[in-house]
Amino acid sequence: MHPTDKIYVAGHRGMVGSAILKRLQELGYSHFVLRTSEELDLRNQAQVFSFFQQEKPDYVFLAAARVGGILANNTFRAEFIYDNLQIEANVIHAAYLSGVKKLMFLGSSCIYPRLAPQPIKESYLLTGPLEPTNEPYAIAKIAGIKLCEAYRAQYGCHFISVMPTNLYGIHDNFDLATSHVLPALLRKFHEAKLNHAPEVVVWGTGKPRREFLYVDDLADACVYLMNLEEEPDLVNIGTGEDLSIAELATLIQKIVGYTGKVVYDTSKPDGTPRKLLDVSLLHSLGWRHKTPLEEGIRKVYEAVFLSQAGQTDHKKRAV
Ligand code: GDP
């Protein structure tokens, strides 16, 4: 990508898209085309096709998606598959029609089989049944990877897919009903501390293991991979390190400074027992994560819950 190339970041107001946009700006890129979901509904084929015909972006980061934690995925099953399929099909086909030079599709580590051997290599895709709680989302994301592969094979399009592990960051979703575990626990421990609550409820058994990547690191990896001349069509992006949900709860409890009890609500689902990505391909391409988990969580905690601006923003977004 040259500094003057026109770059479309789809989903630039989301946690991932905003981090990619920020990273591109830090690196001196300045020619962006951006649309909010109110301005351009990516589920609407006619709108998407006319947008691409008019704007003709050179590069596309496809970070727009309907996303959520275990409960949201399990509840809004129809929306998670329909919205994501529409967004991908429209954007990827329009990118082909308008001659986009390179497109990066962002997926998720939940595309891999529920009981895949750990750590999970890219080659394990479609080798076993998926985790039921997020199967509709995963099927849509697998379709996105296959769209990129097919357009690459048939038309020679430079469309690639990256599969980030569980992400967290300052612009995360802190709504307890729809968020992922890390932002949910930050909020639960913080509010329990403020309210002197005797206990914090953690969902499930605490035994599942998850890997977490700071979203600014992900953004750095995406821009790095976009700038490689030749790269595989599917690359995992993670840290290669995981911990149990109980260990995560202990870490967040320490960061927040909460002294009450932690209890487990086993009526809530555990989801996949373990989800650790094999990042040897990413490392062999020359990229490694930089932010240790504790440092990243502290950054988010301070920015969202302790700073004045963060608190106002967090109240607007999360309550
Ligand atoms: P997943 O990685 O797709 O399973 O999504 P989540 O990040 O939502 O959940 C990860 C794990 O954390 C699951 O085992 C959840 O049951 C567990 N968990 C514990 N407490 C919470 C919570 O307050 N919110 C969420 N979303 N998950 C929680």
- Reported as a single tens digit per residue, the pLDDT across 280-290 is 999 999 999 99
- For residue 319, what pLDDT is reported? 32
Which residue range(s) make up the domain with 289? 7-318
* Whether the Cβ atoms of residue 218 and residue 226 lie closer than 8 Å to each other: no
- Reported as a single tens digit per residue, the pLDDT across 126-177 is 999 999 999 999 999 999 999 999 999 999 999 999 999 999 999 999 999 9
59 belongs to the catalytic site: no
The pair phi, psi for residue 160, each rounded to 5°, is -130, 160
Centre of ligand 1 to C-alpha 145, Å, is 25
Residue 310 lies in a domain: yes
Residue 48 lies in a domain: yes
Residues of the chain where predicted confidence (pLDDT) is lower than 70 = 308-319
Residue 262 lies in a domain: yes
Residue 309 lies in a domain: yes
> What is the C-alpha separation between 317 and 319, in angstroms, rounded?
6
Residue 235 lies in a domain: yes
Q: Which member of 112, 137, 168, 258 is catalytic?
A: 137
| CATH code, domain carrying 46 | 3.40.50.720
Residue for token digits 């890129």? 29
Assign 210 to helix, strand or coil. strand
Structural domains in the chain (count): 1
Residue 229 lies in a domain: yes
Centre of ligand 1 to C-alpha 255, Å, is 19
Residue 103 lies in a domain: yes
Whether 202 is in the pocket of ligand 1, judged by its Cβ within 6 Å, is yes
Centre of ligand 1 to C-alpha 69, Å, is 6
Helix, strand, coil shares of the chain as percentages rounded to 5? Answer: 45, 15, 40
Residue 2 lies in a domain: no
- For residue 83, what pLDDT is reported? 98
| pTM assigned to the model | 0.94
Assign 103 to helix, strand or coil. strand
- For residue 147, what pLDDT is reported? 98
- For residue 318, what pLDDT is reported? 43
